[in-house]
Amino acid sequence: MNGQLDLIATTAFGLEAVVARELKELGYAEHTITDGRVRWAAEAAAVCRANLQLRAASRVVIVIGEFEARDFGELFEQTKALPWDQWIPSKGSFPVRGRSVKSQLHSVPDCQRIVKKAIAERLKQSHGGEWLEESGPQYGIEISLLNDRAMLTLDTSGDALHRRGYRTYVGEAPLRETLAAALVRLSYWNRERPLVDPFCGTGTIAIEAALIGRGIAPGLGRTFAAEGWPQFDSGLWTSAREEARRMIQPALPIKIIGTDIDARAVALARKHAVAAGVADDVHIQQLPVAELRSPKKYGCIITNPPYGERMGDQRDIEPLYREMGRAFSALDTWSIYVLTAFPAFERLFGRTADRRRKLYNSNLACTYYQFFGPKPPSKRTSS
C-alpha cells in the first residue's frame, strides 16, 4: 500500500486529547480533533503502529469517502462510486454497521442495507460474477451520518482496542482497559512514584498503569483485522512489533498496589496481571479502604470506586465515600484521582477537586475528580 491514508482513531468522548497526545508521541503531530475522533494522514505503517500502541483509542479506521446524503438514492450512488474494489478482494467479507445523528436518513438498518448493496454492486462489476462468496478476510465497514453528511470507513482493528487479551473475566462493574489507561495518562503519575488503586476490582487500572510504566504496547498480545489484508505487507506488522518490543523498559522501581475488599476480584486481578506480563510490577491484596496506609510520600491514588448506579445501593455509597475521605486524608502529600458518577462525591469526600473532567464509562456520564498534592522534590534537591 503506497501513499498516504486518511486515518481516524476513534475514542470515547472526553479522551480525544489523550489519543492526540499518544499520536504525537508516535510522531504524528498533525491531526484534527472532533467529538470521538482524532484524524490524521500517514503511510500504511501508521495503521500497524497505531493499532499496537494506542492505549486510549477504540479503533483505527481508514476513511474511504465522505459526501452529502439526504436520500437513499444519493447514498447508494455515492457509495458505489468509491474505490471499494481497491480494498475488498473478490472473496472478502464486508459486514456493515452504522449510526445516524441529526440526519434525514435516520433509519440505521436501512442505511446499512443500502451501503451493503452499493458496495456489492461495485465489487461485482470489478471482480465479475453474480454473487459474492464473502469467505475471505473481513473488512468491517461503518456508515456514519451526521447532519446529513455521510462518512464511510474501513475498520483495521477488528475487535475493539480495549480487548487487550489479558482479562478473562470483567467482574460486576467493568472498566474498559482504554478508559483505565486514559485515567493514568490524565494523572501526574510516572514510574518513579508510588501508585495505589484501593478499589482495584479485577485489576484493570493497576495493570494498565504497569503497562504504561514499562512501555509495553497494549496490542502486543493480540492480532488485528488488517493483518489479513493483502494491502498491508506482513513486514509492516513485523517491523511495528519489533519497534514496540524495543520500547519495553525494565521492571518498575516501585510496585503498583491494588487493593479490594472482594476476595474473588483480588484473585482475578492477580490472574490478569500474570496474563498481561506485569505480575512482578503489581501487588494485589484484599483490604478494605479504611485500612489503606502508606509510609511513602508523593504517591498517586487512581481509582474507580462503586457509585451506586452500577452496583449496590446508593445508601451504601455515601458512608463509603466518607470513609474514603477519612482514609485518604492521611496521605496529604499524595495526588488523588477518582472517577465516579455519584453527583455528591465532593461533599461526602470532604474536599473540593482542583480539576474536574467529564468522561464516559460506557454510556454512563462520570466526572474524573483530580486532587493535586504537592510537587515531589527533584532528585537533586532531595539528595
**Is the CB of residue 221 less than 8 Å from the CB of residue 339?**
no
Element (H, E) at 315: helix 314-329
pLDDT at 128 over 90: no
Is the predicted pLDDT of residue 173 greater than 70, yes or no?
A: no
DSSP count for the chain of H helices, then E strands: 11, 14
Q: If pLDDT is split at 50, 70 and 90, which confidence band does 382 have?
A: very low
pLDDT digits (tens, 9 = 90+) for 246-300: 999 999 999 999 999 999 999 999 999 999 999 999 999 999 999 999 999 999 9
Q: Given 98, 123, 155, which residue is the final one in a domain?
A: 155
CA 204, 207, 210, 214 dihedral sign is: negative
Q: What CATH number is given to the structural domain containing 30?
A: 3.30.2130.30
Please tell me the distance from the alpha carbon of residue 365 to that of residue 220, in angstroms, as a whole number. Answer: 30
User: Which CATH number covers residue 280?
Assistant: 3.40.50.150
Domain membership flag for residue 71: yes
Helix (H) or strand (E) holding 142: strand 140-146
212 and 64 share one domain = no
Q: What local confidence, expressed as pLDDT, does residue 87 receive? A: 96
Q: Kindly state whether residue 259 falls inside one of the protein's structural domains.
A: yes
Domain annotation covers residue 172: no
Same domain, 93 and 198: no
36 occurs within a structural domain: yes
Q: Interior CA angle at 217 toward 267 and 12, to 5°?
A: 80
Residue of 67, 65, 37, 62 whose CA lies nearest to 148? 67
Q: Are residues 212 and 263 in the same domain?
A: yes
Indicate if 37 and 74 belong to the same structural domain: yes
Cα–Cα distance measured from residue 168 to residue 109, given in angstroms and rounded to the nearest whole number: 32
66 and 11: one domain?
A: yes
Q: Are residues 210 and 336 in the same domain?
A: yes
Q: Is the confidence at residue 1, as pLDDT, over 70?
A: no
Q: In this structure, are 194 and 59 located in the same domain?
A: no
Q: What is the dihedral of CA 14, 17, 22, 27, to 10 degrees?
A: 150
Over range 22-33, report the average pLDDT.
96
Q: Are residues 97 and 201 in the same domain?
A: no
At 309, the pLDDT band (50, 70, 90 cuts) reads low
- Residue 120, H or E segment: helix 108-127
The verdict on 273 and 374 lying in the same domain is yes
Residues 182 and 274 in one domain: yes
172 falls in which pLDDT band (50, 70, 90)?
Answer: low
**Is 356 found in the same domain as 275?**
yes
Neighbours of 120 (CB within 10 A): 17
For 150, other C-beta atoms within 10 Å of its C-beta total 24
| Dihedral sign from CA coordinates of 167, 171, 176, 182 | negative
- Read off the pLDDT of residues 55-97 as tens digits, 9 standing for 90 and up: 999 999 999 999 999 999 999 999 999 999 999 998 999 999 9
Q: Is residue 242 part of a domain?
A: no
Q: What is the pTM of this model?
A: 0.94
Q: How many domains does the chain have?
A: 2
Residues 109 and 194 in one domain: no
Range(s) of the domain holding residue 118: 5-155
Answer yes or no: is pLDDT of 25 > 80. yes
Q: Is residue 330 part of a domain?
A: yes
Residue 136 has pLDDT above 70, yes or no: yes
User: Is residue 133, in this structure, part of any structural domain at all?
Assistant: yes
Q: Cα angle at 35 between 21 and 42, to 5 degrees?
A: 50
Alpha-carbon distance of 382 to 378, in angstroms, equals 6
Report DSSP state, residue 19. H
Determine, yes or no, domain membership for 126.
Answer: yes
pLDDT at 379: 67
